[in-house]
Each structure stands twice: as C-alpha cells, then as structure tokens.
Structure 1
Amino acid sequence: MRPLREWQAESENRLSLKNRYLWLAKPFASLFLILTIMYDTDAEEEVMRAKAKERKRRKAAEQAQREEQARLEAKTVAREKAEAERAERERAKTERAEREAEEKRVRKEEERWEAERRRKAEAGKGSEAGAGGSEARGEVKKVVMDPGCTRCTRANTVCEFLMDGNKKRVACIRCNQSKGKCHWPGDRKDAEAGPKAVKGKKRRVDEENAKAGPSNQKWARTSARLTEVLDLDEFEASGSGMKEVGVARYLGLENKLERLIEAVGLIANNLASLFELHETAVENSGRIADALESILDESYGFGMAVSPSDSGSSELDSDELHEEAEWLKAHSEDEEESEGEDESMAKAE
C-alpha cells in the first residue's frame, strides 16, 4: 500500500497532464474528462480505505496497549499479594517459633523444679536411711538432755552426752571428763561422788528413794528427754571416711515440719466444722422448742413450757407452768452463754 502523499502527488500530476491533453485533443476532451473523474474516484476510495485501515490499526494498538497495561497491573497486584502472603507466613512462623521457645523454656523450668524436688525428697529419704543405718551399725551420736544431770544443772551448762545406735547412754561429756557418773533429778544420788565411791559397788538407795512411789519414779524416768543437736557444719565419722550430713538432716526435718503444719490445718478445719454443726443443732433445738410451745398454746389456749421432767404428765396447774417456764428460760440463757463461749474459742483458734 502506497502512502497518501504519493497518491496526492500522482493525482496532481494527472491533472496537469489532463490540462495538456485538453489543449491537444479537444474532441476527446469529454471522454478524457470522464476517465479522469473515474480514476480520481478510485483514488479517493483507496484513500478512504487507507484511512480506515489506519484507524483500525490505531484502535488495535490502543487495545493492545490497554491489555498490556491491564496485564502489568494484574501482575503487580499478584506480586503484592504474594509478598503479603509470604510476610504473613514469615510472621506466623516467627510467632510459632517464639511460642515453642517459650513453651520449651517453661517445660525446662518445670523439669528443673521437679528434679530439684525429687533431689530434695531423695536427700530426705537418704538422711533418714543414713540415720537408721548409723543407728543399726551402732554409731555414736552427740545429743543433749533437757533437763540435764545434776552436775550440769549445778554448773548451769548444757548437758551433752554420747549415745550409741541402740539408744544406750554412754556417758555425759562433763561427767566423763571428771571421771564420774551422771545422776538425774529424782534418783537421789550424790552428784559429787567420785569414781572411787561408786566403782565396783552396787547402787545405793536412800530411805527417801526407797519410799518413793511409782509416780516419782515415773517422773524421774520421763523428765529427761533427748534433744538431738542439729548442726549444718557437722561431719559424721564412718567406715569410709568423713561425710557431711547436716544438710540432708535439715531437709528431712523441713519435710516433717511441713507435714505437721498440714495436719494442724486439717485439725483446725475439722474443729471449725464441728463448731458450725453445734451452732446449727442449737438453732434447730430452739426452733423445735418454739414449735412445740406454739402447738401447746393452740391446743390448751395458754403458754406452756415443755421440759424433760414433765414429759409424762398431762395435768399441770398454773404454779407448775410458771416454774417450768422459768426453768426453760434459764436453760436457754445457759445455752446462749455456752454458744458465745464456743464462738469466742473458735475465733481465738
């Protein structure tokens, strides 16, 4: 297809030739004019077709440009959406990792506390087992007496003595150093007697001790109580060497003290519930008495009090009724006083 300018130039050339031919051949002028007009008409149609094709081409180019723009926009939107989804996945992954790390940390902390608790429990059991084994092996322990022997009491010192695994007293440390025997309050022995006075001889009992009743002897046996010395820095000698037992004993004592506190709490709760039941029973008895009194008032037409003394009588005069009413009133006052005392005791506990 030739450009439009070439068609225009060619048409101008043809018109110039047409004017020349008109001067040369006038007879054929009309015929030549008709042919020229027909040719010009064809040229105009070609020009119109060319313009229509150009418009179509421009429309197609614009359509292609719009489609390309739409495609680019869709691609951009898809890329932004993919980036947002990827960021969301990364954020969820990070949160999940943080949550797992926190759960792992909490689990490790719980495991550490559980291991610590088990270690303490095993240490307490080991201390109890070690104490039992040492007693079974006959190891010697240092204990204190409360009250102490007469010598330590007079010297105003702590009475410490040694005890073997069979709970047998070996000797008081002070008396052992002075080479004497321990005498306890109630056995009526001379505390200052030396080893020569008691060596190889039987125990002498004076007249007061011979006449002492079982109560005094029992007091003499039970008054002296053992109190074990707990020292965290104490080292106990055994066949394999020195070992530290203070911490293990302390842990065992702590566990026993916790169990004792729990038992005391349960006892206090039971006492509180018993007091509540007692109050409920007193209230119910008062309601029953009021109901019986109202029934008797409706039946006999006058106030009447019921007591355990008149449960079998049916004929009562006015004096007896007054006496019974006074007795019931005094009895109710006594119950109120006892109830107040119970409440005060419960609050004090």
Structure 2
Amino acid sequence: MTTRICRLHGQNDLRVETEETAAPGPGEALVAIGAGGICGSDLHYFQDGGFGPIRVREPIILGHEAAGTVLAVGPGVEGLEPGAHVAINPSRPCGTCSYCREGLTTHCLNMRFNGSAMRVPHEQGLFRDRIVVQAAQCVSVGDDVTLTEAACAEPLSVCLHARSMAGDVAGKRVLVSGAGPIGALCTAVAAEAGAAEIVTTDLQDIPLDVAKQMGATRTINVAHDAEALEAYAADKGYFDIVFECSAAAPAIRAAIAAIRPQGRMVQVGVAGDVPVPLNAIVGKEITLQGTQRFLGEDFEKAVALISSRRIDVRPIVTATFPLSEAQRAFETAGDRRVAVKVQLSFEAG
C-alpha cells in the first residue's frame, strides 16, 4: 500500500513523499500513525543538518514520538489486536551486548532508534501514515486518551528516566531549568513524585504558562527577572535537585549557584562543549548526573501515567499540523515564543 512519509533530504530540505508499505511479517505489526511529536533532535536535523558529531548523511524519515492504531499483526503475535491504540517505543536495544546484559540498555552498543542519524544507514523514523514495526514496540494505551496524548509517551519516558537518576524527589525542593517540552514534563514528573516545591525557569512566557499547568509552584522568566533566580543562591544555595533542560552555559551556571551543598543536578539538556564552574561543584560537593533516553520500563510507565492521566500531557501540545503542512509545523516548532510541543496529525488522527 502507498504511504505518505516526511523525509529530510538535507538541511531545511523537508519533503512529503510516498513509498510502499509491506504487510507485517512474523512478530510485526502494521500501525496507522495518528499523531507524531516533533522533538528537539528532529529540529536540529531540519535546521542544522544534525547536532554535534551526528550529521544527516542521507535522506531520513524523521520522527520518534508517535502513536497510532494497529491495522494488522503478523504471524506469532499475541496480545495485540487490530484496532488497538498504541504508543510506539522507538528504542530497540540488541539485548545481547555487554551493556544490555547488565541491564544498561540505554548504552546498547548496537542500538537501533527510529529517526536517528547516528548509524549509517540511518534508522528511518515514524513520521508516516503507516509503518511496520516490531510488535514488541507497541504499548497499548487507555481507551479514554487520545493519540495526541499517547504520542507524548516517548518524551515523558525521558523525564521519568531523568527522575530515576535524581533519587528520591518526594519532599524535595526542585529547580527545572528550561521549560521546553522536556522541562515541562520534568516539572510534571517532579510534581507526580511529591516534590515540595518546583521552580521552573525559561526565557519565554508561553512555556512558563505551560509549566504552571504541569505542576510548577513558581515560574521565573529569567530574561526579565534574573534577580528572582539569583536570590536562591543565597547561603550557598536552596534547591535539593535541579533538572537542567536547557544546556545553555548561563543557565547551567545559575542552576549550580542555586543548588544547596550536596545537592544533585541532573543534566537532561544536550549541547556541545559547555563551560561548567567546577569550583562550585567541588566547593559545594554537588553531584552532577547525566541522563540519556530511557529504559523499556520507563516507556511502559509513561504510557500508564498518560492512560490514567495521573500526568496530564495535554497542556504541552500547543499546535498540531496535518502532514501536508510539515514544513510549517517544523518552522513553528522552532519558534519557542509561540510553541512548546508541536505535533503532526496523520490520517488516523
């Protein structure tokens, strides 16, 4: 069958094309995509041709945040029926390398991740009307949630994994630096875990308005009121935990200044080489913790939290465009003055 796809041919060269989709084979499922979220990595591929050492070296179908409806399953598939609404886990660790055997599947030496240009040939993504995936990638969602919500499972998984890296969040004072989609969801997972106080910062008002809806007890626009954040640096700092989601050097410095001694900063945002004030990290005995992607159990938990609406992801989706307007969708997603999470809508949406 003929399927529309969203393929990037190079920097700022995004095209809606068609290709044929086969029937599902053994252990596979054919899914009609209903909604797909544009991630920061998708934007980097579109705007810059890649990020860091990862470059788009051949045409790639973008997208790794998606949900849809199962159309058919191949031989040997059990527990997944046509008509089921599913979130698609884009992560496919090999299960056999040394890290997978240790349970560190985010560090799989042979990782395959939908919509990633890390490998050559590139791993093709989920932005298409129909796709055949491994049935194990499909996690059923609740009947009462929309595919728009279900497509937020992947970024929520990232934030749940970051939360696990932070240790016990209950009763803690939390700073979330950067209120893009990941920052908004880090705010939500901190609230869901019972944080006593959550301060979320950004340079734009619209993301901060979303952060309030996701559970922030206070928001600070540091472009207009940097002094409000600086006040938290008094007496060696205030926050027990920081989720740093911007990867901007000034934000990192401000966050480290605001952490209390022996606090923990979980670095969620990614950039190239960034200067870090090591003297403050050493002097205050701060733990600097990196976090990457998510585990399979994080994805399943994300789907469960969305399905129950214990975490309501609807506020982060600020715009939706049909696949035919993919170019405009990406341009909107790149303007943080007006957008948090932008999604593409497919025929099943």
Q: TM-score, normalised by structure 2?
A: 0.17
Higher helix proportion (structure 1 or 2)? 1
Higher strand proportion (structure 1 or 2)? 2
Which has the higher relative contact order, 1 or 2, with Cα contacts under 8 A spaced 6 or more apart? 2
Q: Report the structure number with the largest CA radius of gyration.
A: 1
Q: TM-score, normalised by structure 1?
A: 0.17
